[in-house]
Amino acid sequence: MADEEDPTFEEENEEIGGGAEGGQGQRKRLFSKELRRMVYGFGDDQNPYTESVDILEDLVIEFITEMTHRAMAIGRQGRVQVEDIIFLMRKDPAKFARVKDLFTMNEELKRARKAFDEANYDYGS
Amino acid sequence: PGKGRVTGVSGEGGVVPLDPSPSCLDRIPRDRFEELRKACDEEGELRRQDGLRPRAGEEADSSSRHPEAKRRKVATKGKRPRKRAVDELEAQKMRTLMSSMSQEQLDRYEVYRRSAFPKATMKRLIQTVAGSTVSQNTVIAMSGVAKVFVGQVVEEALDVCEKWGETPPLQPKHMREAVRRLRSKGQIPGSKHKKILFF
């Protein structure tokens, strides 16, 4: 009743209190499985600490949130486009190189597929 | 002695880039990793023929979903011998590197290449923040950048961990110190916007 602590509520409280870095609090974990693999690939232990992975997830979500907002503010307003992301990364060499490569790769794939389709079309007729 | 070393790691063909691949290797069974890597290399070489000069040491992999050999017969722009020489040199270095990796290192490298954020979840996250739909390319770009971001944090954290005379697994304190350092280097954006707390 009044004295009784609802155990569910208490659990939630503890989770929020003992949560990860940043003021975001706890939410359902979105990337836990893949993040655990990712940090192993980047050099952490094969069994990383959950608390550390949670911190990373919060960081990633914060990063994506921030970048999405900034992308919407530039270029075509209200839209998130690849060109915007490329521009936003311009001061970070590693990120810039990666996103630019992905973009260029994609353009080339499109060109190749288009040429391939056109070639097929010619043979067909 | 000790851990068995992998022999017969071929690797002839195009360049094996060092950057993580977002998708090329996802759906391939593990034992075909090598074959697929070669197919990706061909894709990468095709891409390079078009004039993109990769950053030294940070060549990107191709995210090919259709590694058919037919692709090479498609007309491309003129070949550039100097670029191919550079690519071949990089490929050589990669071959040497991979042939001297221990099994543990190869395992880790494979996970490094294959790991990626789930596209559907990423798309949902971006669209929730943006309040509108985004293209698949945007999801791919954001996923790729986010992965680099994770790598930067983890590498910095490993550095901190080592400097403090400790060992992996990384602890929250390493992460927090890493974030602090990266923020001062400007590699982690500060918040200009209201944080989304619940979704």
State the ipTM, two decimals: 0.75
pTM above 0.90, yes or no: no
Q: Reply yes or no on whether the pLDDT at B169 is more than 80.
A: yes
Q: Reply yes or no on whether the pLDDT at B48 is more than 50.
A: no
Helix (H, G, I), strand (E, B) or coil at B192: coil
What is the sign, positive or negative, of the torsion defined by CA atoms of B135, B136, B137, B142?
A: positive
Backbone angles phi, psi at A117, to 5 degrees: -65, -40
Interface of A with B in 77-106 (CB under 8 A): 78-82, 85-86, 89, 91-95, 97-99, 101-106
Q: Reply yes or no on whether the pLDDT at A26 is more than 80.
A: no
**Residue in chain B nearest A27 by alpha carbon:** B198
Tell me, yes or no, if B189 comes closer than 8 A to chain A by beta carbon.
yes
Give the closest of A34, A42, A101 to B116, CB-based: A34
Is omega for the bond preceding B22 within 30 degrees of 0, making it cis? no
> Which pLDDT belongs to residue B5?
42
**Residue in chain B nearest A97 by alpha carbon:** B55
Compute the nearest-CA separation of B8 from chain A (Å): 23
Contacts of A32 in chain B (CB under 8 A): none
Q: pLDDT tens-digit profile of B109-148?
A: 999 999 999 999 999 999 999 999 999 999 999 999 999 9
> Which pLDDT belongs to residue A59?
96
Q: pLDDT tens-digit profile of A93-103?
A: 999 999 988 88
For residue A87, CA distances in Å to A99, B22, B147 come to 10, 20, 18
Q: pLDDT tens-digit profile of B156-166?
A: 999 999 999 99
Picking from A67, A44, A24, the residue whose alpha carbon sits closest to that of residue B150 is A44
For residue A54, CA distances in Å to A58, B118, B129 come to 6, 16, 20
Name the percent of chain A lying above pLDDT 70. 76
What is the sign, positive or negative, of the torsion defined by CA atoms of B116, B68, B135, A70?
A: positive
Contact between B113 and A72 using a beta-carbon 8 Å cutoff: no
Contact between A45 and B116 using a beta-carbon 8 Å cutoff: no
Compute the nearest-CA separation of A5 from chain B (Å): 25
